[in-house]
Amino acid sequence: MNAAPTPSHLDWLSSLTPVGPRAASCEATAGPTDLGCGRLSAAWEVLSQVLDPEVPAVSLVELGIVRDLVETADGLEVVLTPTYSGCPATEAIEQSVRDALARFGTVTVTMRRAPAWTTDWITDAGREKLRQYGIAPPGPVDAAQGVPVRIVRRRETLACPRCGSTRTEQLSAFGSTACKSLYRCLACREPFEHFKPI
């Protein structure tokens, strides 16, 4: 079988700025299994620069997709969790993690489903970056979970990421990707996307 050329939707990969090793300070972003200064914090630092392919405003770490980072005998094991069951960016994300961490040795990528990813894991910094990018960040999931089917559309009080007005309305429950829906602001008249709580 012939290897197909890289599909155009992966073009963004080649545009990623290679991230050099930073002087790893102990205050650097540290992951949950970091044992101290060194390779792991350097690797977390690198991963904190890898952007999500579909929302290139936030990093994989800010989105909560990187669940763990473990040193192995000859490199690193990265534990990722998928956002949506059918997210087509999953393979691209895995590849971008491999590329970013290549200089740390052999990179093993493990997909872990449980516990299921939730938008509650998006960091505060990530939410602010979403807002600045023009995407209204998700509210807490607890409010949306376990609610029986609502026939009549809920009154939305979503704030416009541009002008802050809550006079907004939903245009489409599903947006350009599975994780977003489409809205418009009735005050500033601008359309915007909303990262759905899940």
Partner 1 sequence: MSTSVQPGQRAEVQYLLRVGDACLVLSHRISEWIGHSPVLEEDLALGNIALDLLGQARALLTRAGQLGEAPLDEDQLAYLREERHYLNPVMMELPRGDFAFTQARNLIAACWLLPLWTRLQASSDAEVAAIAAKAVKEVRYHQQHAAEWVVRLGDGSAESTRRMQDALQQLWPYVNELFAADAIDAAAEASGLGPAWSSLKPDWDAAMDEVLAEARLARPKDTPHVYAGVRGIHSEHMGHLLSTMQHLQRAYPGGVW
User: Which residues, 64 to 103, sit near partner 1 by CB under 8 A?
Assistant: 82, 84-88
Options 27, 115, 155, 157; binder of partner 1; rule CB under 8 A: 115
d(CA 185, CA 124): 23
Options 73, 153, 155, 157; binder of partner 1; rule CB under 8 A: 153
Per-residue contact track with partner 1, 15 to 54, x per CB under 8 A? ----------------------------------------
Cis peptide before 5 (omega within 30 of 0): no
Options 177, 188, 190, 191; binder of partner 1; rule CB under 8 A: 177
150 is a site residue for partner 1 (CB under 8 A): yes
113 is a site residue for partner 1 (CB under 8 A): yes
- Structural contact between residues 169 and 184, judged by C-beta atoms closer than 8 angstroms: yes
Q: Which of 129, 60, 48, 69 is nearest to 93 (CA)?
A: 60
d(CA 94, CA 181): 25
Residues interacting with partner 1, by CB under 8 A? 1, 4, 7, 82, 84-88, 113-118, 144-145, 148-153, 171-178, 182, 196, 198
